[in-house]
Amino acid sequence: MTKVFCTGCGVVTPVGNTPEAVFLAVRAGRSALQLYPAQPEPYMASLLSREGFNGPSFFEHIAVEAARKAVAQAGLDPSGPRVGMVLSTIKGNVEQIDSEDVSLAAAAIRIAAKLGVTSKPVVVSNACISGLAALIQGMRMLRSGAYDHVIVVGAEVQSRFIVTGFQSLKALSLQACKPFDAARDGLNLGEAAAAMVLSTQNSLWELVDGAVRNDANHISGPSRTGEGSYNALKYLLPLVNREQLAFVNVHGTATRYNDEMEAIALDRAGLLDVPVNALKGIFGHTMGAAGILESIVSMQACDAGMVLPTQGFSELGVSRPVRVSAQEMPTNGTEFIKLLSGFGGVNGALLFRKGGAR
């Protein structure tokens, strides 16, 4: 099977605008989470500054920014016929639903045009696992033989639409979220954009394989048996070099049910001896960007020989003895698994491996 590599990364986040800066922020526990007074009720979130921006769509603006950075790092000419683009987002321009065409397809076409991409873009909108699903889609496009490079970009901006929705689900915490902690009481929303250029050209980090699996249980409640998450992990296990597995970067939204579900899935997959970390205590749940952003930070950590700390975590609050990293830990591992879950019962897992050419 064709090997797929990451040849460039780009990020736009409230804690930094390069992968290195975001990595350092996570390492230092420097979060951008703060309490916003009204929407109409207060909410804790990690939001980007709109200062100096006056275009039609902030969402498209940050997506283009992140993608441009990734394209520049990869040294890619995006205009060739064998360059593809995948957009990952959940709600895109939804804040303009009363006045504009908020179709995600239309947004993808404008983003592709700004980047100079000439092939037809595709949008993957698979709830909170969209970022991982989009990376998997990019891998598949390369393996089909039709593309040499695929730009995978994920972005999310927050709006009254999303905030009131999560409030109505009683899913938001008013404190900075506490993934896997005994005192966790909900998630925080976040804004970010993150992009990767995937390529058949050899590079340091390889995306080995990934899978998407459904719980087939409930559209908003995570499975009590971790079914889909376990099945996605099970798909990857034969490909994992266990002694090289540095950590599993989990979804870790800090809702009661999600984190418990992931603990059960990790147990069933025989991964309780592997360090686990979650990053949402730094930049919240960045939805369509999360899978790509958290993977980029995890590659940085692995490069630095480190399992990053889980901001907000102090006392284990799930039923299985998961090795959650409260502080940073050294590692010699060269592989990690990224895990996500979302509404609609979807779960995703992707295996990353270091070892290609620099």
Where do contacts with another protein occur on this chain (CB under 8 A)? 90-91, 94, 97-98, 102-106, 108-109, 120, 122-127, 133, 137, 140-141, 143-144, 146, 160-161, 164-170, 211-221, 227-228, 231, 235, 342-346
Residue closer to another protein by CB (options 256, 320) is 256
Query: Residue 170 CB, nearest distance to another protein (Å)?
Result: 6
Classify residue 145 as exposed, middle or buried by CB count within 10 Å of its CB (0-12, 13-18, 19+). exposed
User: Smaller CB distance to another protein: residue 98 or 243?
Assistant: 98
Q: Is the Cβ of residue 19 or residue 92 nearer to another protein in the bound state?
A: 92
Residue whose tokens read 């000439």: 118
Check the CA dihedral 158-164-169-171 and report its sign. positive
- Spell out the alpha helix ranges (H) of the chain: 19-28, 58-74, 104-115, 130-143, 160-168, 227-236, 256-268, 280-283, 290-303
Least Å distance, CB 237 to another protein, is 13
Closer by beta carbon to another protein, 163 or else 274:
163
Backbone angles phi, psi at 343, to 5 degrees: -60, 155
Closest separation between CB of residue 202 and another protein, Å? 21
Task: Considering the complex, state which of residue 275 and residue 342 has its C-beta at the smaller distance from another protein.
Answer: 342
| Contact present, 248 and 339 (Cβ < 8 Å) | yes
- Of 69 and 268, CB closest to another protein: 268
Contacts of 198 (CB under 8 A, 6+ apart): 4, 5, 6, 7, 135, 138, 139, 142, 149, 150, 151, 152, 207
Query: CA 278, 279, 282 angle in degrees (round to 5)?
Result: 145
CB of 149 to another protein, least distance (A): 16
Least distance CB 197 / another protein (angstroms): 18
> Identity (one letter) of the amino acid at 80?
G
Minimum gap (Å) between residue 321 Cβ and another protein: 26
